[in-house]
Amino acid sequence: MSTPALAEAASSPRRKGRPRVSETASPSLVQILNLVRSGQATTRQEIERYSELGRAVVADRLGTLCELGLLNESELGAAAGGRAPRLVRFSADRGKILVATLDQTALGVGIADLGGALLMEHHEASELTQPVSSLAERLTTLFRWILERQGNPPLYGISISLPGAVPDGGEAVFLGTTPTVLPGWENFPLVETLVEAFEAPVWLRSSVETMTMGELHAGAGSGHRTILFVKVGKRIGAGLGSDGALFRGAQGAVGLIGSVPVSGPGGGGTLEAMAGSDRIAQEGRSAAERGASPILAEHIRRGGEITALEVAQAAQIGDAAAIEILSQSGRLIGQVVATLANMLNPALIVLSGSIAQTNDILLASAREAIYGACHPLVSRDLQVVRSQMGSSAGLVGAAIVAIEGVFSPAILRDWIMAGRPQAHPLFQRIKDDIARKRLAEESTVRPPDA
């Protein structure tokens, strides 16, 4: 069946009587595509075995998927006695995903293929406190620049990582409106703006969620099914990768461990307040002022500012006061994470954030607290490592979020016959709604300026 015919079949209204070929073919197409995409099956024989479909059906569906450009059979595998089998591969370059990470002080953008491989990325300083409209404009400009540099490839989705929990509004398929994520963002239609500008479905997740996905699929968590990801910065948050997928909880607010009350020397407070980067910086300044840290005192004397990074660097070159500050922070984080580990039994705990990544002391101290407080069964094979992906984890993870969304069987079956997710009826409806709303806004008669 030719591609226009497939598209027509997918978009024409449902009739009574026998089901259309497109309706009967969709489930097997979805099944075969995902068997190949996940790497479970790489030859026709393996597809037949895992899908339990007949040879003729597999051949027919493969023909369709190759015609749609989603699979290819151009490579030959190793022969095992007879003729070399033709390998069936997912065409990861069939489309691209635009990705972005927004955090308190930086904006990262990139583009990934449908396998989640990042093809290009750029990061720049950007204050989250600026108006959301300016941020959206910068994001759009950088996205357009990347698309132009990549030769304007077909876009399958846009996925953005945000510095706050993204409420799970129970959206079954695609986002049609912008959920309230951050203060000051209530009235800005970020999702609608991106859908209009790029005509692609949009996903939003918290930075901890996307980084968890990034580590699970391309970082330290590759090959593990259950990981716990902990990001240490001004805020402290955790993400859970369970059975290879992101665990989002009831409302998308998983892992807000920064608000857990803890007690340390000199009182108690939330984990963020007692062990976050603001506390590390504050303790560093205080150590410099009372003469306990010669390195930090010298830094201030030369006009330098003390942030958590300076404390971490001082600790790294042996400053005793800085070492104690980071050890204390690591201990408190480790105690809270140990409780989570006892509950969840992860195979791996990844510590991330600039302090955890550049400093061995915080990691060592957290590790000691985790192993010390975990049940022997939990700690027996547990690894505690630092992230090696940095902000790229957020971009890669954001791409995986969109890819998992686009290719989830429930969504895939409604666009597969057209070969691109934009053909999904619900996305069409969302796009039309946004266009209608925009038209209504533009046609509203405004009162004359005073």
Among 155-163, 240-248, 319-327, 390-398, the segment contacting another protein (CB under 8 A): 390-398
Q: According to the binding rule CB under 8 A, does residue 286 interact with another protein?
A: no
Complex with another protein: residue 161 or 422, whichever CB lies closer:
161
Would you say the C-alpha torsion 318, 320, 322, 323 has a positive or negative sign? positive
Of 9, 53, 87, 309, which one interacts with another protein (CB under 8 A)?
309
Q: According to the binding rule CB under 8 A, does residue 354 interact with another protein?
A: yes
Among 24-32, 176-184, 196-204, 382-390, the segment contacting another protein (CB under 8 A): 382-390
Complex with another protein: residue 75 or 124, whichever CB lies closer:
124
User: Can you tell me the distance from the alpha carbon of 225 to that of 242, in angstroms, rounded to the nearest whole number?
Assistant: 6
We find the least distance from the C-beta atom of residue 392 to another protein, in angstroms, to be 4
Complex with another protein: residue 289 or 298, whichever CB lies closer:
298
One-character DSSP codes across 210-250: HHHHHHHHHSTTTT-S-EEEEEESSSEEEEEEETTEE--TT
Among 21-29, 140-148, 278-286, 432-440, the segment contacting another protein (CB under 8 A): 140-148
Q: Which residue, among 291, 295, 260, 293, has the nearest Cα to 275 in the 3D structure? A: 260
82-111 footprint of another protein as x/- string (CB under 8 A): -------------------x----x-x---
Q: According to the binding rule CB under 8 A, does residue 330 interact with another protein?
A: no
User: Can you tell me the distance from the alpha carbon of 299 to that of 347, in angstroms, rounded to the nearest whole number?
Assistant: 41
Strand 267-270 versus strand 261-264 pairing type? antiparallel
User: Can you tell me the distance from the alpha carbon of 330 to that of 362, in angstroms, rounded to the nearest whole number?
Assistant: 5
We find the least distance from the C-beta atom of residue 335 to another protein, in angstroms, to be 25
407-446 footprint of another protein as x/- string (CB under 8 A): ----------------------------------------
Q: Which amino acid is at 151?
A: G
Complex with another protein: residue 7 or 120, whichever CB lies closer:
120
We find the least distance from the C-beta atom of residue 212 to another protein, in angstroms, to be 17
Q: According to the binding rule CB under 8 A, does residue 144 interact with another protein?
A: no
Whole-angstrom CA distances from 434 to 70, 195, 369 are 29, 8, 51
Among 77-85, 116-124, 168-176, 416-424, the segment contacting another protein (CB under 8 A): 116-124
Helix (H) or strand (E) holding 351: strand 348-352
Complex with another protein: residue 49 or 149, whichever CB lies closer:
149
One-character DSSP codes across 39-95: TS--BHHHHHHHH---HHHHHHHHHHHHHTTSEEEEEE---SSSSPPEEEEE-GGGS
We find the least distance from the C-beta atom of residue 388 to another protein, in angstroms, to be 4
Tokens of 299: 């830094």
Check: CB of residue 332 under 8 Å from CB of residue 299.
no
**Ramachandran category for residue 52: left, alpha or beta (phi over 0 → left; psi -120 to 50 → alpha):** left
We find the least distance from the C-beta atom of residue 123 to another protein, in angstroms, to be 4
Of 47, 51, 121, 306, which one interacts with another protein (CB under 8 A)?
121
Complex with another protein: residue 347 or 385, whichever CB lies closer:
385
Interaction residues for another protein, span 204-223 (CB under 8 A)? 219
Q: According to the binding rule CB under 8 A, does residue 119 interact with another protein?
A: yes
Q: Which residue, among 213, 160, 201, 214, has the nearest Cα to 182 in the 3D structure? A: 160
Q: Which residues contact 349 (CB under 8 A, 6 or more apart)?
A: 227, 228, 229, 230, 337, 341, 370, 382, 383, 384, 385
228-267 footprint of another protein as x/- string (CB under 8 A): ----------------------------------------
Please state the φ and ψ torsions of residue 252, each to the nearest 5 degrees.
Answer: 80, 20
Of 123, 144, 413, 438, which one interacts with another protein (CB under 8 A)?
123
User: Could you list the residues that contact another protein (CB under 8 A)?
Assistant: 101, 106, 108, 117-125, 141-142, 145, 149, 219, 309, 313, 316, 354, 357-360, 386, 388-392
